Amino acid sequence: MTLTNKRIGFIGAGKMGEALIRGIINARAVDSSNIYASDVYEAGLKRLGTDLGINVSTDNKVTVSNSDILILAVKPQILAAILSGIKESVTVDKLVISIAAGVPLADIENGLNTGIRVIRVMPNIAATVSEAASAISPGASASIDDTEIALAIFRAVGSAIVVPEHLMDAVTGLSGSGPAFIFPVIEAMADGAVYEGLDRHSALTLAAQTVLGAAKMVLETKMHPGELKDMVASPGGTTIRAIRELEEHGIRAAFMNAVIASSERSKELGE
């Protein structure tokens, strides 16, 4: 599905909105002249307009009127108010995509006129570097083509899959929040190397590349992570001793509990 000549509007140009805008432009999926954005923070908007050459406005209705595809990149707590303000401007020829964490499709559809095509997406901040992990759930009025358009947008900034909506809270806990789980891991690994005498820049470079390489091996070899671990952990060696330390400090339970806690919070936001 090509996005050529599609006009994409963003209501909300905060961290996630900006990450998606930058990722889409960097991937050359859509020309910057076909991207519109609105936000209450005028200074940030002007900066984005100057830096990226996109069209900006503090009026959400301007963004809506100029867009074929509307991406709602706002906090879940204010989404209802945003929908109320744009309801009469959103016509059936527009596709609405929400990335508001925890907000069900039914709430979005009920906040708009009948028959509006809505898709719910959970991306993550790695869209900034075109490595996002996104999950997509189409609403009642969304067509197969609408789903393909959403996939094309989010695959332009990483990987994207389609999941049933009831699994979106799990996605939020895993890939939505997940980058924030990994950043401290990279920092901690680098700290260990600095403790052993490596300079900070080299330590961070090696730690980040190690995480990137390990992830790429899982994705490209299709091997189970346990198998890949065993390829590195030779009997009586350095790696297996390190793994014992991680296991003794509950690494698996800690990461499992982090994903579960984030998922539960996502459910609370949707109530």
10 Å CB burial of residue 222 (0-12, 13-18, 19+) is exposed
Domain end marker among 108, 140, 168: 168
Q: What pLDDT is attached to residue 15? A: 87
What mean pLDDT is predicted for residues 143-162? 95
Residue 268's pLDDT is 86
**Which DSSP string do the residues of 142-196 spell out, in sequence order?**
--HHHHHHHHHHHHTTEEEEE--GGGHHHHIIIIITHHHHHHHHHHHHHHHHHHT
CATH code for position 260 = 1.10.3730.10
Secondary structure class of 90 (helix, strand, coil): coil
Task: Print the domain residue range for 160.
Answer: 8-168
Q: How far apart are CA 9 and CA 145, in angstroms?
A: 18
The H or E element containing residue 26 is helix 15-26
One domain, residues 21 and 85: yes
Same domain, 186 and 146: no
What pLDDT shows up at residue 1?
Answer: 67
State how far the Cα of 13 lies from the Cα of 170, in Å rounded to an integer: 25
Average pLDDT for the chain:
95
Q: Tell me if 1 is assigned to some domain.
A: no
CA 82/CA 223 separation, integer angstroms:
44
Confidence of residue 48 (pLDDT cuts 50, 70, 90): very high
Residue 40 belongs to domain with CATH number: 3.40.50.720
Q: Has this prediction a pTM greater than 0.85?
A: yes
User: Of 140, 168, 196, which residue is a domain's last?
Assistant: 168
Residue 250: exposure state from Cβ atoms within 10 A (0-12, 13-18, ≥19): exposed
Give the residue among 92, 97, 99, 102 at the shortest CA–CA distance from 138: 97
- Is residue 2 in some structural domain? no
Sequence-distant (≥ 6) Cβ neighbours of residue 25 within 8 angstroms: 32, 35, 52, 54
Residues 195 and 245 occupy one common structural domain? yes
Q: What is the pLDDT of residues 227-238, one digit of tens each?
A: 999 999 999 999
Instruction: List, for residues 117-132, the tens digit of each pLDDT value.
Output: 999 999 999 988 889 9
Other CB atoms within a 10 A radius of the CB of residue 71 amount to 29
Average pLDDT over every residue of 105-124: 96
Q: What is the pLDDT of residues 192-225, one digit of tens each?
A: 999 999 999 999 999 999 999 999 999 999 999 9
Q: What is the mean predicted confidence (pLDDT) over 171-192? A: 97
Confidence at residue 4, expressed as pLDDT on a 0 to 100 scale = 79
Count of the separate structural domains present in the chain? 2
